[in-house]
Structure 1
Amino acid sequence: MLASGKDPREEVLQAWYMDDSTEDQRLPHHREPKEFVSLEQLDELGVLSWRLDADNYETDEGLKKIREEHGYSYMDFCEVSPEKLPNYEEKIKNFFEEHLHTDEEIRYCVAGSGYFDVRDRNDAWIRVWLKKGGLIVLPAGIYHRFTLDSDNYIKAMRLFVGDPVWTPFNRPHDHLPARKEYLQAFVQKERSDHAVDAAA
């Protein structure tokens, strides 16, 4: 935490509830009035985040520590932009299909920015804006999607435990063990916590 009490992650990560508009997916899609989502609310959905030094990612002790603690042995880079990504239009369309993975999705933005949309417990979309220096971990089993913002560019480090498996399972895939485990850990747990609060 900074002395001012502001979480340093807020400079590289912002989140808000999305409107229902079908306009260009790269627009912010804020609700009216705007409804921001705190980093604590994201934590409660299993979405972890850090702020790191993107200019020195090769030597960054913070990144090294996260990789060691979480066992992220694999690393590569992915550049998404109309110029850099082959079959860009098709790929960006696929990234924006709602899906889940059976492993964590770990992305560290070292340049540019983009949107990771995740579902909350009531199935509403939360848009997470990841900027340079932000590292985000989406838990296995969470429904999500990705798109660029209107700057049309992100360079992200992809991390993984062991050999990478990037298979997307487009919704609905509720029968998968990863989905059931996610619901148990983050959705049903929260509901039972609230039921206890209400009974107290």
Structure 2
Amino acid sequence: MVRAWFMDNDHSDQRKEHHRNPPQFIELDELFKLSGVEYFKLNIDTLETDGILEKLKKERGYTYEDEIVISEGCLQNYEEKLKIFYTEHLHTDEEIRLVVKGSGYFDVRDKNDEWIRIEVVPGDLLILPSGIYHRFTLDEKNTIIARRFFIGEPVWTAHNRPCDNMECRKHYVESFGSGTFVKV
């Protein structure tokens, strides 16, 4: 089962589990209410035959996918890429990741601008809404393989914080006030 918790402010070692002391874990419903992040648990062993992923892709309009391998031996400019992934940023489109192998952490800013760390392992599918500030890092195992999904042409552009004047960010912030976050 996925774990999510509020982080402390010490991020000197990004690959550690950083959490408040004592840890303040949060439930998935609370994660959604605070950030708009959606979570699905899929069975990696039956992924190609159970129809669950295909149904989700159809419902959400995901028409393009690829796979990313993040490990020292497989990713060019590994250390540089990890720094880029860990820099706080947002995207103009949803970020959808399904962990196939390995593990890592997605850190997201909640509606109160506090960090929530989400630990991901095989079978975890996260959907980060457009306009949410976030970052990614590996854990101590230093490897993850994830499938990435997009609506239409893939957009990988990251906009580093601050970019509060972007339309996607404004829409994201407004979604909390209007209660427009709805789970699919």
TM over 0.5: yes
What pairs with 1:43-192 in structure 2 (closer than 5 Å)? Answer: 43-44=32-33, 45-186=35-176, 188-189=177-178
- Offset, 1:61: 0.7
Over the matched positions of the two proteins, sequence identity in percent amounts to: 52
Q: Secondary structure at the match of 1:37?
A: coil
Unmatched 5+ residue regions in structure 1?
1-10, 191-200
Instruction: Report the Cα offset of residue 22 of structure 1.
Output: 3.1
Distance 1:74 1:60 in 2: 20
Please state whether the residue corresponding to 2:103 is helix, strand or coil: strand
Which structure has the highest helix share of the two?
1
The DSSP-based 3-state class of the residue aligned with 1:41 is: helix
1:38: which partner in 2?
27
Please tell me the root mean square deviation across aligned C-alpha atoms, in Å: 1.1
Distance in 2, Cα, partners of 1:92 & 1:35 = 26
**Separation (CA, whole Å) in 2 of partners of 1:161 and 1:60:** 22
CA offsets per residue over residues 19-42 of structure 1, 9 Å max, x none? Answer: 111331000001101100110112
State the TM-score, normalized to the length of structure 1: 0.86
> Structure 1 stretch 140-149 or stretch 23-32: which is displaced more?
23-32
| Unpaired stretches in structure 2, ≥5 consecutive residues | 180-184
Q: Report the Cα offset of residue 16 of structure 1.
A: 0.3
- Tell me what 2:18 maps to: 29
Q: Is the 8 A contact 1:54 1:111 kept in 2?
A: no
In the TM superposition, structure 1's runs of 4+ consecutive aligned residues that sit over 2 Å from their partners are 55-60
Counterpart residue type for residue 17 of structure 1: F
2: distance between equivalents of 1:53 and 1:60?
Answer: 9
TM-score for the superposition, normalised by structure 2: 0.93
Greater Rg over alpha carbons, structure: 1
For this pair of structures, how many residues does the alignment match? 178
